[in-house]
Amino acid sequence: MDYQPKDIEREVRNFWEKNRILQLLMKMREKDNVGVLGFVEGPPTLNGFPHIGHARGRIMKDLRFRWKTMQGYYVPFWAGWDCQGLPVELEVEKHLGVKNKRELLERVGEGRFVEECKKVIKKYYEAWLECDRKLGLFIDHGRAYWTYHDNYIEREWQYLKRAWEQGLLGEGYYVVAYCPGCQTSLSSAEVGYEGAYREVEDPSLFFKMKISMKENEFFLVWTTMPFTIVTDMMLAVHPEAEYAKVRVGDEVWILAKQRVEPVMEKLGIEKYEVIEVVSGKELEGIKYEYPFKDIVPKQKELDELSNVHVVVCEDFVDVETATGVVHLSPGNGEEDFIAAQKRNVPIYVPFDDECKFTDEAGEFSGLFARDADQKVIEELKKRGLLVNVETILHEYPTCWRSHHKLIWLARREYFLWTNKINSKIVEAAEKVEYFYEPPKNRFLSFLREGKPWCISRERVWGTPLPVWKCEKCGHKVLVATKKELLERALKSSEEEIELPELHKPWIDKITLKCEKCGGLMKREPFVLDTWHNSGASPYARFTDQEFEKYVPVDFLVEAIDQTRGWANSLLLEHVILTGKAEAPYKAFLFYGFVLDAKGRKMSKSLGNVIEVNPLLEKYSADLCRFYILWKCSPIDSMNFDVNEMMKRPYQVLSTIYHLHRFFMQNAEYDGFNPQKFSLEWAEKNKLLRQTEYWLLSKLQETIEEVTKRFEKCEFNFAMSKLEDFVVDVISRQYIPMIRRELWSDSPKTLNRRLAIYSTLWHVLKNTILLFNPATPFLSEFLYQKLYRQFDPSLPESVNFEKWPVADPKLRNIKLEEDFELLTKCISLVYSARQLAGLKRRWPLRKAVLIIPEEAKLSIQNLKSLFLELANVKEVEFSEKLPENYDAKRWSLASEGELTVLLDTFRDKSLIGEGLMRDLARRVQALRKDLGFVPTEILSEVHIANLSKESLGLIQPFLEELSELVRARKVYLHEEKPEIKAEEWHEFQLDKEKVNITIIP
């Protein structure tokens, strides 16, 4: 029976489900364990189908779970689903065919929209369940958490309550990308969508900013967004760069020294002179004349402040382009905004929701932002400040839906002021184990930026911000439980307050009475950033008691992009909640992306997305699991290639399967009973030989190495070690060493065969245990079909077994080295045979090994094995190559310190034996072709058309031949005899043609 992984997997899946193996396992470990390892599922967002990148993470999670569970730990490996947020909303919008938020609210309404969101979640949930089932994930779906459920949301609110109490939650400005067409702000994810960046036309404007108190000195500034000059608050230079004062006519212009030449060339100014060079640092603090004070009264007012309209130093200033002097509009740019916040510069944002200037913008009032460009240019020209204007083409982010050019706007939002506790956060993060340096550095450097976290979103499907604000006095309260809300809610009449769930639109109907002034309090209309929603899972998904027990959790694994996502929000929220410099996880493995076979990112537009469910319709889950773990380090990006998967990885799993078949065929035939013929039994009766001790030693090495690699999350190295053990050690080396012994069915050697079975039983069983975390289907299948058949006293599932522990007593490094040397010498013998054209099955008289003294002892130790594998009658040792050996007779091969001389002379007896083995091989091939099982004994084998000479040569080995081919009698004929043969088969035997037939 061939290896049919898909059939195996179907059968095992049914077995697990029917016998509730996962549930039994959980119960067993919950009751009886060597320790508890906390876990919380990084919830997949239910806005799409699982793809191979998701599978990569899930496979590693499952590996960790199965491995740690086998070690005896209890792990609450319970599922969880991320249900809210923009990604889900966008999926629903697509489904409903609405183009933007306004249309959504008008046409669909919030209530129905929320219901549609839930429908979408359900749909994708089914797909994810199927994915986990196919992958063989032992995650408990019965205990899953859902981020949109009321109980989850209420516990999520507790984080906000803690932040509120500590003064870490409040209002502020934040710069967001805003689409003037859709009239909504966009998330950063949307800004990064494929195709969002487009080549667009913009003005390219050089203008001057006059320095106050100086007659003719100016800063030369460049921008592609003239309208931002209306909201200009500062000029920025790079502190370390050199700036030149350049005389142009009777004016002095200041710009980056390295930019003088290119800019002057660009502006067509030939006559100029650099009169002084200063560092950016020296320019700091210079006040300049804001040009539109006369037409923008608010700017005139702001200009009175000492920190407005001055030069500042910022590292982000790029002196490689333009003039190296940047003007800052905190209301229209993120870096500008942060620079302003650092210096307590007020944020001036005179825009309404349609992105038109408000009355605060003086003469620009009523103009749409981008339409103000022209007026700005004219006004500059009027004041003699315009230097040059033209049009350029450049890449600029546009709205992925409407393709309007995006505008960056500071808007009032709610923040967690995590910047205030940044040192605690960084300290907490530094204590975490990340397994690899690069992702750790990436995460820590991101955290050290210490930006405040904008948690409000102007959307619908999310956790509502539980803050109510008084319309009259502006007083705010945070109400963090449903119970309290209902108690405090204002009742319009006698009717009951209805709050079916903690979502918009229902929650917005709740109004409160202001405790300060008695005014009406309405909820702030925001929902929370969905990352806050999932980041609350350690507290929100557990009970208080469970939280105590499982958090900080032991080990998490998510994709590398989660450094800015879940890993971050988990950490920030946990530090806020506990007030401690402690992360909610002790270890976090960030894994790399999965790319397509050619190394391209998977995307819908390329059509190269590999979805898990269709993939596993066609391919084996075990194989995908093994391949993904095996191919490269978890932190590397991985090119997923099914053709590659079907080569070496397939071979490894197939070999495990066939090793078991081989074992079973033989062991069954000899009536092996593992309880009776244990390894101890074999040992006690001195039935084990060096081959077995060597194999057992290699097993210990493998157990040790795999465990060590698992600890360090070096799954690829663990898999290579297993690959090597299965393919090289067992299949390629050990089996050929004992094959001849197993082929015999003599009762005299039965005990020896049983000893081999006891060794194979032990080694193979440990092997499938080591494989179980990676290939749970195959391991379970073999466990049920082989191990539990032979030994019904074994536990019900392979998952109930204990993880193997290396036994140092079985380790014999010297013996391993001897075997390594043996392998090398045998290779040399084959090489020498090759040169002389002598087949491996032809026995030869003698091999001479010219090897160092210690090596000689090693080979002598393994002499009989050497003779069998080399297929020579005797071996001799020599210290050096004889000076005048007969090169015609002796074939030589050498490598390094090792040299082999092989006697190529064959007498009649050797030729006859070789011929016999040739014939045996032909008969065996025929047996197999004709469908005889290996153990079946044939009554007669006839071999005809042999030359007289061959006949004579073979005669002495006839008995051995019949034993080899398992026939009662073998007859040799010169010509085809007249017997009742089924059919004669012709074979080419070197130059002769022989005919063979079998009579069963």
Partner RNA sequence: GGGCCGGUAGCUCAGCCUGGUUGGAGCGUCCGGCUGAUAACCGGAAGGUCGAGAGUUCAAAUCUCUCCCGGCCCA
Across 272-383, the runs of DSSP E, i.e. the strands, are 273-279, 310-313, 326-328
Contact (CB, 8 A) for 554 and 546: no
Provide, rounded to whole angstroms, the least separation between the CB of residue 836 and RNA.
10
Provide, rounded to whole angstroms, the least separation between the CB of residue 567 and RNA.
12
Question: Toward RNA, which CB reaches closer, 193 or 368?
Answer: 193
Provide, rounded to whole angstroms, the least separation between the CB of residue 735 and RNA.
4
Provide, rounded to whole angstroms, the least separation between the CB of residue 858 and RNA.
18
Question: Toward RNA, which CB reaches closer, 513 or 601?
Answer: 601
Distance in angstroms (rounded) separating the CA atoms of residues 648 and 623:
10
Question: Toward RNA, which CB reaches closer, 13 or 658?
Answer: 658
Question: Toward RNA, which CB reaches closer, 367 or 829?
Answer: 829
Question: Toward RNA, which CB reaches closer, 365 or 633?
Answer: 633
Question: Toward RNA, which CB reaches closer, 118 or 841?
Answer: 841
Provide, rounded to whole angstroms, the least separation between the CB of residue 718 and RNA.
13
Spatial CB neighbours of 386, under 8 Å, sequence gap ≥ 6: 205, 206, 207, 377, 380
Distance in angstroms (rounded) separating the CA atoms of residues 761 and 631:
29
CA-nearest of 455, 460, 428 to 444 is 428
Question: Toward RNA, which CB reaches closer, 497 or 989?
Answer: 989
Provide, rounded to whole angstroms, the least separation between the CB of residue 83 and RNA.
21
Angle at 121 between CA 117 and CA 127, to 5 degrees: 150
Contact (CB, 8 A) for 863 and 857: no
Provide, rounded to whole angstroms, the least separation between the CB of residue 61 and RNA.
20
DSSP-derived letter for residue 509 is G
Question: Toward RNA, which CB reaches closer, 352 or 986?
Answer: 986
Angle at 942 between CA 941 and CA 945, to 5 degrees: 150
Angle at 671 between CA 667 and CA 675, to 5 degrees: 90
CA-nearest of 770, 769, 802, 773 to 783 is 769
Provide, rounded to whole angstroms, the least separation between the CB of residue 100 and RNA.
21
CA-nearest of 466, 428, 504, 443 to 159 is 466
Question: Toward RNA, which CB reaches closer, 732 or 814?
Answer: 732
Question: Toward RNA, which CB reaches closer, 614 or 1000?
Answer: 1000
Task: Give the C-alpha distances (Å, rounded to integers) separating 287 from 222, 313, 384, 386, 975.
Answer: 18, 13, 19, 20, 116
Phi and psi at 589, nearest 5°, equal -100, 125
Provide, rounded to whole angstroms, the least separation between the CB of residue 651 and RNA.
5
Provide, rounded to whole angstroms, the least separation between the CB of residue 321 and RNA.
7
Question: Toward RNA, which CB reaches closer, 15 or 446?
Answer: 446
Q: Which long-range contacts (CB under 8 A, 24 or more apart) does 105-110 make?
A: 109/505, 110/460, 110/504, 110/505
Peptide bond into 956 cis (omega under 30): no
Provide, rounded to whole angstroms, the least separation between the CB of residue 595 and RNA.
6
Provide, rounded to whole angstroms, the least separation between the CB of residue 295 and RNA.
29
Measured in whole angstroms, how far is the alpha carbon of residue 788 from the centre of its chain? 35
Classify 183 in phi/psi space as left (phi over 0), alpha (psi -120 to 50) or beta: left
Phi and psi at 715, nearest 5°, equal -60, -35
Tokens of 866: 């050497």
Reported as type and span, the H/E element at residue 342 is: helix 334-342
Question: Toward RNA, which CB reaches closer, 608 or 678?
Answer: 608
CA-nearest of 262, 258, 257, 263 to 276 is 257
Cα first-last separation, the chain? 23
Provide, rounded to whole angstroms, the least separation between the CB of residue 632 and RNA.
5
Question: Toward RNA, which CB reaches closer, 633 or 707?
Answer: 633
Distance in angstroms (rounded) separating the CA atoms of residues 308 and 302:
7
Provide, rounded to whole angstroms, the least separation between the CB of residue 289 and RNA.
29
Question: Toward RNA, which CB reaches closer, 644 or 796?
Answer: 644
CA-nearest of 682, 819, 836 to 761 is 682
Looking only at the bridges linking them, the beta strands covering 594-595 and 638-639 are parallel
Question: Toward RNA, which CB reaches closer, 650 or 803?
Answer: 650
Provide, rounded to whole angstroms, the least separation between the CB of residue 938 and RNA.
8
Question: Toward RNA, which CB reaches closer, 321 or 374?
Answer: 321
DSSP-derived letter for residue 370 is G
Provide, rounded to whole angstroms, the least separation between the CB of residue 834 and RNA.
4
Spatial CB neighbours of 882, under 8 Å, sequence gap ≥ 6: none
Question: Toward RNA, which CB reaches closer, 358 or 894?
Answer: 894
Question: Toward RNA, which CB reaches closer, 172 or 519?
Answer: 172
Distance in angstroms (rounded) separating the CA atoms of residues 573 and 554:
18
Provide, rounded to whole angstroms, the least separation between the CB of residue 3 and RNA.
5
Spatial CB neighbours of 817, under 8 Å, sequence gap ≥ 6: 858
Provide, rounded to whole angstroms, the least separation between the CB of residue 961 and RNA.
12
Task: Give the C-alpha distances (Å, rounded to integers) separating 285 from 157, 243, 309, 312, 580.
Answer: 44, 15, 9, 6, 40
Measured in whole angstroms, how far is the alpha carbon of residue 729 from the centre of its chain? 30
Contact (CB, 8 A) for 235 and 288: yes
Task: Give the C-alpha distances (Å, rounded to integers) separating 126 from 133, 801, 885.
Answer: 11, 31, 77
Tokens of 518: 């008695």
C-beta atoms surrounding 268 within 10 Å:
7
